[in-house]
Amino acid sequence: MKLIDARRDLYRRLAHQEGYRSRAAYKLKELNKSYRIIGPGFYVLDLGCSPGGWTQVALELAGNRGKVMGIDKSFVEEIPNTHIIRGDIEDESIVEEVFDYFTTKVNAVICDISPQVMGTWAIDHAKQISLNYAASKIMDHVLARRGNALFKVFDGEYSNEFRDYLKKKFVKVQLKKPKASRKTSSELYHICLGYLGA
């Protein structure tokens, strides 16, 4: 995006004014308004959380009876009242750290994961979907029955296969592009409600 466009970017400006670390915060807010992926008192795991916009919103939605943990490969500056760890979601042993924090299963897993993009669409898309499969493996360990999930996908060749995979795991799976997602971006969001269990 050109700098001039960025200045005009409503959500970016809003994020700055309202103290959110990313414009992505508004995507979660918008989707949650329609689908209540996260409710008060929820335990929420945020995969690929840096710089922390979704983590901030998850904390607001879960409230003081809830608990929020974020994981990212990159450094994330501390967000008070949440637990952030540096880790790779492709390493399944991270599940232990998730249980160390929550001591029980969680009510929602949210995943906004993006690989380092190479600029070659087929490769970026395949890598992003592969990260989503890794995230859903973690989810299978930690998500409670009837829990909810949210996955970003870079839309492409393998999107339908991933959606069908999710459909077997949830009562309802809905595909949405929130207004806060740039029209030029091929990202879409799978809202997954009512986990059926691993």
Ligand X SMILES: C[S@@+](CC[C@H](N)C(=O)[O-])C[C@H]1O[C@@H](n2cnc3c(N)ncnc32)[C@H](O)[C@@H]1O
> Which residues are part of the catalytic machinery?
152
Closest CB to ligand X among residues 52, 66: 52
According to CB under 6 A, which one of 5, 18, 88, 92 is a site residue for ligand X? Answer: 88
Q: Does 22 bind ligand X (CB under 6 A)?
A: yes
Pairing of strands 143-154, 187-195: antiparallel
CA angle 138, 57, 178 (to 5 degrees): 85
Residue with tokens 């335990």: 43
Q: Does 74 bind ligand X (CB under 6 A)?
A: yes
128-147 binders of ligand X (CB under 6 A): 131
Q: Does 124 bind ligand X (CB under 6 A)?
A: no
Among 3, 31, 15, smallest CA distance to 187 is for: 31
Q: Does 66 bind ligand X (CB under 6 A)?
A: no
Q: Does 24 bind ligand X (CB under 6 A)?
A: yes
Size of the site for ligand X (CB under 6 A): 23
Determine the Cα–Cα distance for residues 113 and 46; give it in Å rounded to an integer.
9
Q: Does 114 bind ligand X (CB under 6 A)?
A: yes
Selected range binding ligand X among 36-44, 50-58, 100-108, 188-196, rule: CB under 6 A: 50-58
Task: Evaluate whether 85 touches 76 at the Cβ level (below 8 Å).
Answer: no
Closest CB to ligand X among residues 39, 115: 115
Q: How far is CA 13 from CA 4, 26, 70, 77, 82, in A?
A: 12, 11, 24, 21, 25
Per CB under 6 A, residues contacting ligand X are: 21-22, 24-25, 48-54, 71-74, 88-90, 112-115, 131
